[in-house]
Structures are given as C-alpha cells and as structure tokens.
C-alpha cells in the first residue's frame, strides 16, 4: 500500500493518522503551525464522535458529561424547555486543545511522523509546494487543511462563500458551578450558548449575533469584551453573569460554503472542513471530521479506494450540514414568532427537532468488508 501524507494536524487530520496507523498503513502529518499551541475553545462530542475515539483508543480528556440542553428566554432566563441527552449516548464537552493533545499522543505512540512549521502554498497533482520553496511528490495526499487550505481548490477549483450575516463571539471564563448542560439563551437576532469544560473548571461561551456586513478581510479576529457585552446587553441571569467575566474574546464571521462537489481528484482527497465546512448550529464539525477519518482509513486499508469513501460520506455530510443551516433561524426568532414557538414547545404541541439520526450514526460500522 502507498504511503499516505496528511496536510493539517487538526482533529480530522490527527484522527486519520491514528486510524491509518492502526490499520498498519504508513502515514505522516504535515502542519503549518510551528507548534500545536493551546488554541480554540469548547467543542461538543456526541455519541457518533465518541464511537470513533473509542475505536482509536483515544480517551476524552477532562470531559464534562452533558445532562441535556436547556432552552431559555434571553431576558429573564425563563426555562422554555429541557431536552434530555440523546438516547444513543451522552454528549461530552471538551476543550479542543485537550482533544488535539490526546490525538497527538496516540498518533505518536503509533509511530506517526508529525512535521511542524511546513506551510503548503499549493497542491498540483501529487506535488506539494511549500512556502520555503521546497516541493515534494507524495503517493496519496489527504487534505485536512480546512476550507481555507490549498487542497480544496485543487480538487474542486475556486468556490464562493456566502456571508450568513451572523458573527460568533467565543470566550472562556472561570466557571462558577454552572450545571453540566448546554444552556441555549434565545433572543431576537442573537443567541448565546453556555456549557462547562475541563471537569467543570471553565465555562465556554458562544454568542452569535446578526450583522449586515463583515468588512474585515480575515474570517477570524480578536474581539473587544466591552463591545461583546454591549452587543448582548439585555441578556439576563447566568448569561449576563458570564458576560461580565469575559476578559478576552474572538469573533468568527460565519460563512456558508457548499459541500465539495468532488471529494477527490486522482489520489488527492479531502477530509473534514476541506470537504464539508458546516455552521456551528448542530455542534457536529468535530464529529463529522472523526467520522470521515475512520471511514477513509477503512476504505484505504480494505482497498476500496477514494470513490467508495466519497460515496459513503458525501450524503451523510450533506444532510448534517443542511440540518445545521436550518437550525440558524430557529435560535433568532423575533416577537411574536418567538413567543409562539416557545409556547408551542412548552405545551408539547410541537416537539423539539429530533436529531437522533445524527447521533445514532456509527462510522465504525459504515464500511463493509466488501463494496
């Protein structure tokens, strides 16, 4: 079997390296960052992602087990609805940096080579061109380098993203005994999500607001905590208390990218956000990357190829990405629609959306022994 080179040492890239090495394949990972620093914030790993991590022998680091989701009104914090944990198994809250460290440790234990500080600037066929002028030709190349990486445009050509007119603020603050639930505070044109991390020591904050434009060239930038508080003024209860503790924040412009039309070109394939960037409103970005990693490794190990990988993964990714997009408007209903929706949920006349099909998926059983 040919050697596999992975561009990108994020969750998907490192999980793929673990899965490939577990299958007995030779793999190395190339990452542009000079070191894997502690960056990022909280992520949610539902049962579909946990299955992959368990199969890889990667324990969840300092996890908090979710006891469900609380939907709350933005101003008074009134509980609208409690959604129990998925029947498929619990969701876990973890810090992205902790999960990356656990994956890196597992990959190193399996002999995976990790090359840091090598920034790819172009991919042409099986050749990778680097920022320092060097070039390499590889056997099989997997682009886990994200939607802004160099692999996606090689496979599909340029694509146009659409600004959703939503911006996400993210911050971490010391926890103060908040419950092990995801608190979703729904307001007019904005919402907030709070959940604990690192065995309950930190509180993760994601606050999304609607904006008409995004003039900065970058998709991510540092934010002003005072501005963040002003933009979410009027949120009450625990939401307001959490905002008061923010001393550093970042902003993400939320863009809608199409799921890649092609997932491979020759022996160059896409994984994770490079194939299917998703909005954060279903908390499935990391889990989709983990699913991709297991299925792709199984297809390569069993000689089923990249066509089979695309056939197995593309419909699933399209469905999840579409569901995340539909969730966006539900969180930002304005009066009187918001009041009607909350009354319908509390009365039981309208059940909350059922995402069991998302969490029940088992990537470790998705690849049969023969096509």
For 182-210, how does the pLDDT look when each residue is reduced to its tens digit (9 = 90+)? 998 988 888 899 999 999 999 999 999 98
Q: What pLDDT is recorded for position 98?
A: 95
pTM of the model: 0.92
Q: What pLDDT is recorded for position 84?
A: 84
93 in catalytic set: no
Per-residue model confidence as pLDDT tens digits over 275-300: 999 998 889 999 999 999 999 999 99
Alpha-carbon distance of 43 to 53, in angstroms, equals: 14
Q: Which helix (H) or strand (E) holds 168?
A: strand 162-174
Phi, psi of 156 (to 5 degrees): -120, -10
Whether the pLDDT of residue 160 is over 90: the answer is no
Residue in the block written with tokens 């509980």: 79
Which among 221, 242, 191 is positioned nearest to 71, based on CA atoms? 191
Tokens of 5: 């080179």
Sheet arrangement for strand 27-30: 113-115, 27-30, 4-7, 140-143, 268-270, 264-265
Q: What pLDDT is recorded for position 219?
A: 63
Task: Tell me what the mean pLDDT of segment 334-338 comes to.
Answer: 47
CB contact at 8 A, 32 and 144: no
Per-residue model confidence as pLDDT tens digits over 238-247: 999 999 999 9
The pLDDT mean for the chain works out to: 89
Tokens of 326: 């539909």
Domains detected in the chain: 4-160+257-364 (3.50.50.60)
Which among 218, 220, 236 is positioned nearest to 74, based on CA atoms? 236
CB contact at 8 A, 337 and 282: no
CB contact at 8 A, 136 and 7: no
pLDDT category at 371 given cuts 50, 70, 90 is very low
Task: Tell me what the mean pLDDT of segment 229-254 comes to.
Answer: 95
Q: What pLDDT is recorded for position 343?
A: 41
Tokens of 98: 């902790």
Q: What pLDDT is recorded for position 349?
A: 35
Whether the pLDDT of residue 32 is over 60: the answer is yes
Task: Tell me what the mean pLDDT of segment 137-166 comes to.
Answer: 94
Whether the pLDDT of residue 63 is over 80: the answer is yes
Whether the pLDDT of residue 216 is over 70: the answer is no
Q: In this structure, how many other beta carbons lie within 10 angstroms of the beta carbon of residue 363? A: 25
Q: Which residue has the higher pLDDT, 63 or 369?
A: 63
Query: Among the listed ranges 19-33, 81-95, 169-183, 224-238, which one has the minimum average pLDDT value?
Result: 81-95
Residue in the block written with tokens 């609607």: 210
DSSP-based three-state secondary structure for 189: coil
Query: Among the listed ranges 62-66, 187-191, 198-202, 228-232, which one has the minimum average pLDDT value?
Result: 187-191
**Set 93, 195, 309, 361: catalytic member:** 195
Alpha-carbon distance of 228 to 359, in angstroms, equals: 33
Residues 6 or more apart whose CB falls under 8 angstroms from that of 127 comprise 135, 136, 137, 138
Q: What pLDDT is recorded for position 108?
A: 96
Q: Which helix (H) or strand (E) holds 206?
A: strand 202-210
Residue 289 Ramachandran class (φ > 0 left, ψ -120 to 50 alpha, else beta): alpha
pLDDT category at 329 given cuts 50, 70, 90 is low
Task: Tell me what the mean pLDDT of segment 56-62 comes to.
Answer: 91
Percent of the chain with pLDDT over 70: 90
Per-residue model confidence as pLDDT tens digits over 84-122: 887 778 899 999 999 999 999 999 999 999 999 999 999
Which among 278, 169, 309 is positioned nearest to 230, based on CA atoms? 169
Whether the pLDDT of residue 362 is over 80: the answer is yes
Whether the pLDDT of residue 370 is over 70: the answer is no
Q: What pLDDT is recorded for position 339?
A: 47
Q: What pLDDT is recorded for position 86?
A: 78
Tokens of 192: 């907030």
């Amino acid at each position: 079997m040919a050697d596999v080179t992975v561009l990108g040492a994020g969750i998907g890239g490192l999980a793929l390296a673990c899965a490939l090495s577990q299958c007995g394949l030779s793999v190395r990972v190339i990452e542009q960052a000079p070191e894997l620093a502690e960056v990022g914030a909280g992520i949610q790993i539902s049962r579909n992602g946990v299955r992959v991590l368990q199969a890889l022998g990667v324990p969840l680091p300092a996890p908090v087990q979710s006891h469900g989701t609380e939907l709350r009104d933005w101003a008074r914090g009134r509980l609208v609805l409690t959604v129990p944990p998925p029947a498929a198994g619990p969701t876990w809250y973890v810090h992205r940096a902790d999960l990356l460290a656990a994956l890196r440790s597992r990959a190193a234990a399996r002999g995976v080579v990790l090359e840091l500080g090598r920034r790819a600037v172009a991919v042409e066929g099986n050749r990778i061109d680097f920022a320092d002028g060097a070039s390499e030709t590889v056997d099989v190349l997997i682009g886990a380098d994200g939607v802004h990486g160099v692999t996606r445009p090689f496979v599909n050509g340029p694509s146009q993203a659409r600004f959703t007119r939503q911006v996400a603020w993210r911050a971490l603050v010391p926890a103060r005994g908040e419950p092990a639930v995801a608190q979703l505070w729904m307001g007019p044109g904005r919402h907030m999500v709070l959940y604990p991390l690192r065995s309950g020591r930190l509180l993760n904050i994601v606050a999304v607001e609607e904006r008409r434009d995004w003039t900065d060239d970058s998709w991510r930038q540092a934010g002003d905590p005072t501005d963040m508080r002003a933009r979410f003024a009027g949120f009450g209860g625990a939401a307001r208390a959490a905002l008061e503790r923010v001393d550093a924040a970042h902003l993400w412009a939320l863009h809608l990218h199409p799921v890649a039309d092609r997932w491979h070109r020759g022996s160059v394939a896409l994984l994770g956000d490079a194939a299917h960037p998703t909005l954060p409103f279903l908390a499935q970005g990391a889990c989709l990357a983990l699913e991709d990693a297991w299925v792709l490794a199984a297809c390569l190990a069993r000689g089923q190829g990249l066509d089979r990988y695309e056939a197995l993964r593309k419909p699933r990714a399209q469905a999840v990405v579409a569901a995340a997009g539909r969730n966006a408007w539900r969180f930002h209903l304005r009066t009187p629609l918001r009041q009607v929706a909350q009354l319908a949920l509390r009365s039981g006349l309208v059940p909350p959306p059922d995402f069991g099909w998302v969490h029940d998926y088992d990537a470790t059983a998705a690849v049969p022994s023969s096509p």
